[in-house]
Amino acid sequence: MIMASTNEQLGVMKLQDALRKAQSLGLDLVEVAPNANPPVCRIVDFGKFRYELAKQEKDKKQNTSKLKEVKFRVNIDEHDYLTKIRRAEQFLDKGNKLKVQLQFRGREMAHKDLGEAVMRRVKDDLATMAQVEMEPKQIGKSINMTLSPLPANKRKRRFSEPEHDIDEEDHDEEDEHEEDED
């Protein structure tokens, strides 16, 4: 199967005919699907073809997710907890994996059940943004859990809106304060 540089199908033809056609256009004949039956070739400029492939590979590498970490303590205050959950949502929204770590210090080790309760709460609160990759597991003086983001169309923030919406709200509040002063 031969395809032109405009992705137009030219049909099945012999190798010699395809090479002649490519040379008459001043382009190259490149095999793009050798395992297909019949093999698929494209008439393109080979240098440009290689550049496009390299560009696609580079784009694939950029989409790799980073592992971000959020640390909690057993006796975390409500406001601090919400701040960390908002931050975790931001990480997940950007497509990063998230490592949640709960650290015990000193006598807190005697209250592992409280730590497990905090981890359950984190897991439940982030259920609309991520799925659990590694269940909460105690390692030494900490409990670790790894979350991976849901597909972008299934994510739903519960604790904070996307960043651009927050900025707009902040500006509206400033405008109201300025009007009150007048």
Over the stretch 28-39, which tens digit does the pLDDT of each residue have?
888 888 888 888
> What is d(CA 34, CA 31) in angstroms, rounded to the nearest whole number?
6
109 HSE (CA, 13 A, CB side): 8
Q: CA distances (Å), 26 to each of 14, 17, 21, 41, 45, in order?
A: 19, 14, 9, 16, 8
User: How many other C-beta atoms can be found within 10 angstroms of the C-beta atom of residue 157?
Assistant: 15
Of residues 77 and 3, more confidence is placed in 77
**What structural domains and CATH numbers belong to the chain?**
2-62 (3.10.20.80), 67-162 (3.30.110.10)
Confidence of residue 102 (pLDDT cuts 50, 70, 90): very high
For 87, list phi and psi in degrees, rounded to 5. Answer: -65, -40
This prediction's pTM: 0.54
Q: Give pLDDT, residue 34.
A: 82
Of residues 84 and 12, more confidence is placed in 84
